[in-house]
Chains A and B, each alone.
Chain A
Amino acid sequence: MVREITLDNIEHLAIGSAFLGTGGGGDPYLGSLLCREAIAQYGPVPIVRPEDLKDEDNVFVAAAMGAPTVMIEKLFSIEDQHRAVEVLERFLGRTATAIISAEIGGCNSMMPVAYAAMRGLPIVDADGMGRAFPALQMTSFNIEGVACAPMTIADEHGNSVLYQTVTGLKAEELARPVAAVMGASVCMSCYPMTGAQARRAAVPLTLSGAIGIGEAIARGGDPRPPLDRLIDALRAHAYYSDAAVVFRGKITSLERDTTRGWVFGSCTISAMGGADAATGVAEVRFQNENLVVHVNGELRGIVPDLITIVDAETAHAIPTERLAYGQRVAVVACSAPPILTTPHALDVVGPRCFGLDEDYVPVRDLIGECA
């Protein structure tokens, strides 16, 4: 079991969190640079298991919010993250004893690690999604009744805004325009929790899970194909364990449309015959993240279960904006953490929240013949 985040496994976290980003979540590259600098300066970050949190612990979220195109210009600073957390600490009269990620999939897996290094605090082996989702209210914290607010956002100048909203959705609506005024690349802290709340409301084992997945994909000197190693790592995990390659083939059609701030579209993958058993076509639909996969018209995976398109040879995740005709890919589906699949949770992160006209069916009921 990984006990700390070091210069040696930060790359694994980046690769694994890109997989858990299910096509979205943002590129962890810049965040991983920030982590490297922070760990080099402040030392490795200890990982605390959620069950080892004490009731009275104060768990604070660290996250970036904004437009990816702006983030690659303005980059990030830990000091700005510190201001967001500090303002919230002062308001609550509590001091953080542990840091947690709100979203393990994609770039928001990184800032909390860098920030925890600076604070000399442990990072919780958990997050609020176990994957990536496009909005603030789509978290296990919210599903389990932890309030998104009080919430803070901070820019690089020392400006910060504290929100006391009634719902997570309202926090999202009110924060986005202000974040744009602040330059569309801000740091935030939300869902402040006690240790007791975090034990109950966080998705456990996702940080170590991401590192394990990344390690499996990147492992050198292993004769087994990376895709097999990826599936093994998923099956060995507590939640991602109903995992299978649901299709292999080549991208033969791609539709993408950026409207209202989201990338909507679908990707068709055709079987190539030969050694691969797969025949026919698979269709993956996405809204930033991959939402649903059908193989020859039959459902094979649907949100909140995870669907990631990976390079057929390297098993590295391919983000939605980098999909291209002709790529040889595998579609990997795996089970979501159980906290996201209760009837109540499906009202927040289920297929219909993304405008899909289908009901959630657990991936384990769909992948029998692939597994």
Chain B
Amino acid sequence: MRIGVDVGGTNTDAVLLSGKNVLGAVKRPTSKDVSSGIAEAITALISECAITPDAIDAVMIGTTHFTNAFIQRRELVPVFAIRIGFPAGRGIPPFTAWPDDLKAVVRGGSAMVRGGFEFDGREISPLDEAAILAAVEQARAAGIGQIAVSCIFSQLNPAHETRAAELIAQHAPGMEVSLSSEVGRVGLLERENAAIMNASLRPLAATITSAFRRALAELGIAAPFYISQNDGTLMSADHMQRYPVLTFAAGPTNSLRGAAWLTGASDAIVVDIGGTTSDVGVLIARFPRQSTVHVDVGGVRTNFRMPDILSIGLGGGSLVRETPDGVTVGPDSVGFRLRSEGLIFGGETLTTSDIAVASGQATFGDPARVAHLPTALVEQARGAIDRLIDDAIDRMKTAPGDIPMILVGGGSVLVSATPQGVSDMMRPEHAGVANAIGAAIGQVSGEIDRIYNAPDAASREAALADARAQATEQAIAAGANAVTVEIVNIEAVPLQYLPGGATRVVCRAVGDLALAEVR
């Protein structure tokens, strides 16, 4: 049996899964220290399901804690950035374009040293080991304990980054090192930004990891725990302690993955309606479609693999207004104050939830308080809500033709009829805890993003075979049961304006956690 936990900004949800069954689900408020909220939720779950802690094989936790800490500039530490690749790239040094308030907290200095690779694997220069040591000295003298190392084309060849990490470990054993090749993909500035963000969060990651450990130990749970990553797969607690930045997009990913698991759908649109916004995403082969644009996190440009999510201002607390041009819905919302401000709860504000109750779609609050609403107003508001959903679905579809849709989230009562362009609307049971389910069903993955020199068909095939083998190997190293590993995505894109067939290959392998196979 596995426990999945989703730590959101407001609620901490926990679910117990056995094979294909949801044995129980609970919701508790998120605590400030995160771990006591988790402990409370798991305790409630264990007692609700009447199991003993030793029946639990693994605990999977999804958390937005690190994203929120970074966005709110909470508990960040200064970082010294070392970029390998000089003299290339020296015109745009580390921390360029970081917001001033963030730089004030995180920028602990930087150095650009010789080394790095060309697109075809040649060295730009040999690694300047003396310069690495000098940079480490500089960081130590400034009292900085976190170093972020980036290197040109480290996605192609991480050798200079790993050598730098070795040198730092030998000469400054107390320093912690974050490598860009572990957290990002092609695009030096964005990958370097991710490494710096990661380094700034590591002390917090250590605190949170030990808090999780302690909380589980106090509950008598000896099973290992895992953390959800951006792509919906899991990493070990040790890995999270070193790479907290890999949790940044886990929330929406888990919601989409949970929706897929609850319905068995492989390709579908997922609409998650909350209190203030609706998030619309797309499942392709059970995984979220990835965004292709750069994503700013806390004002810093990154290129994480984030799910492609369209957020619209429609939720259970969205304001409904009568205007000369007709009835409008949102984008503003009463949010969590719905339970005091909505008409059905005795408040004064007309919200989408009031419309759902007035039209008989939903039964909560006090229906008598909305009985006076004119039918025309209710119908017009419903029409406006339907149009928002239809439009969002249409924007996210990748092809004409109807597609199945999965409706999750607390605000899903707003949807009455099957939206346009939808072949089959599913409202799974336990949709309210899709995030926690997404965490619980996490698999493990391996991914590579490299540039191969592949001028002809034979070398192209060899490149693809190499990419598959390496991604598979990484998945197994991350804890996957070898027989379950499959390649879920492989793309080969020839580079523009280059002769000689330089080809960027992105390959991803996913497998079940080896541990989950034990029982």
Contact = CB atoms under 8 A, between A and B. Distances in A.
A121 interface: no
Contacts of A33: 92, 96-97, 189
Contacts, number: 121
Interface string B481-510: 000000000000111111110101000000
Given A37-B92, A78-B91, A180 B500 contact: yes
Contacts of A322: 292-293
A261 B498 contact: yes
A72 B124 contact: no
A184 B400 contact: no
Interface string B5-24: 00000000000000000000
Contact of B496 (A34, A68, A185): A68
B457 interface: no
Contact of A72 (B87, B96, B189): B189
A75 B88 contact: yes
Interface string B396-437: 111110000000000000000000000000000000000000
Given A75-B89, A76-B91, 7 more contacts: A67-B497, A69-B504, A70-B495, A75-B91, A261-B495, A324-B292, A326-B397
A-B interface, 8 closest residue pairs, ranked by CB to CB distance from nearest: A77-B91, A75-B89, A156-B88, A156-B87, A74-B88, A326-B395, A75-B92, A67-B497
Interface string B151-195: 011000000000000000000000000000000001111000000
A183 to B, nearest CB: 5
Given A322-B292, A325-B397, A79 B90 contact: yes
A298 interface: no
B394 A184 contact: no
A73 B119 contact: yes
Interface string B82-102: 000101111110001100000
A115 B456 CA distance: 39
Interface of A: 30, 33-34, 36-37, 66-70, 72-80, 114, 156-157, 176-177, 180, 183-185, 250, 252-253, 258-259, 261-263, 288, 322, 324-328
A252 B396 CA distance: 12
B394 A34 contact: no
B119 A328 contact: no
A161 to B, nearest CB: 16
B97 A74 contact: no
Contacts of A70: 119, 495, 498
B186 A259 contact: no
Contacts of A30: 92, 189
Interface string B132-156: 0000000000000000000011000
B73 to A, nearest CB: 22
B57 interface: no
The prevalent SS among residues of A at the interface is: mixed
Contacts of A72: 186-189
A30 B192 CA distance: 14
B166 to A, nearest CB: 23
A258 B492 CA distance: 10
A180 B496 CA distance: 12
Interface of B: 85, 87-92, 96-97, 118-119, 124-125, 152-153, 186-189, 292-293, 394-400, 451, 493-500, 502, 504
Main secondary structure of the interface of B (DSSP, over half): loop
A183 B123 CA distance: 10
Given A74-B152, A77-B87, A252-B400, A288 B292 contact: no
A259 B293 CA distance: 23
19 contacts: A66-B497, A67-B496, A69-B119, A69-B451, A70-B119, A72-B187, A73-B153, A73-B186, A75-B88, A75-B89, A76-B91, A79-B91, A114-B91, A176-B497, A176-B499, A180-B499, A184-B119, A261-B499, A326-B396
A261 B494 contact: yes
A79 B91 CA distance: 8
A194 to B, nearest CB: 29
Contacts of A325: 397-399
**Quick one: which of B118, B188, B394, B496 has the most chain A CB within 10 A?**
B496
A263 B97 CA distance: 30
Contacts of B502: 67, 184
Contacts of A327: 395
B399 to A, nearest CB: 6
A258 B493 contact: yes
A66 B498 CA distance: 7
Nearest to B498: A67
A80 B91 CA distance: 9
A183 B120 CA distance: 8
Contacts of B494: 258-259, 261
B499 A177 contact: yes
B152 to A, nearest CB: 5
A250 B394 contact: yes
Contacts of A324: 292, 398
A328 B392 CA distance: 11
Contact of B88 (A68, A183, A263): A183
